Amino acid sequence: SGINVIYGGGGIGLMGVLADAVMEKGGTITGVIPAFMNDEGWGHPRVREMIVTDDMGERKKNMFARADAVVALPGGIGTLEELTEAITLKQLGLFRGPVIILNTLNFYDSLIYLLGKMIEGNFMRNEHKGMWNIASTPEEVIGLLSNDKGWIDNPRKIARI
């Protein structure tokens, strides 16, 4: 559907499954992987566009610069770091695209609860709930991407608590 997937470049686990599925369906995929991971052979061998970065920070910066949206699938601590950075960048007006949490089988329920507690405890404003959307299925993700109306015009007005 004209979507280019930008992901962490891995060839195993869910990253590998994602890359394989995108390529099987005829989609395009761009991997962004730090040199040390690539040197270990962790990169996906069939991804044609593989960008090798110096380190993890450059990897994230490169991924966010290329992305029109961020979709967090269930994952580990690296996924959590990327998701929270996307929300932080959106809060500061440095990333304008949609941030979507794919809550497959309620995987992210505890995180969603924690985000609510941050708002309840005045560590974020109530308006910040609009920075992310939650989907239960991949089909819902596509719908949210297709119908994104943006968040607010000037996020920095409410970035400070």
Averaged pLDDT in 10-residue chunks for the chain of 161 residues: 88 94 94 98 97 97 96 96 97 96 98 98 95 97 91 88 68
Task: Give the predicted TM-score (pTM) of the model.
Answer: 0.93
Quote the pLDDT of residue 160. Answer: 78
Q: Any residues with CB less than 8 A from the CB of 2 and at least 6 apart, and which?
A: none
**How far is the C-alpha of 89 from the C-alpha of 74, rounded, in Å?**
20
Quote the pLDDT of residue 108. Answer: 99
Give the CATH architecture of domain 4-158: 3-Layer(aba) Sandwich (3.40)
All structural domains of the chain with their residue ranges: 4-158
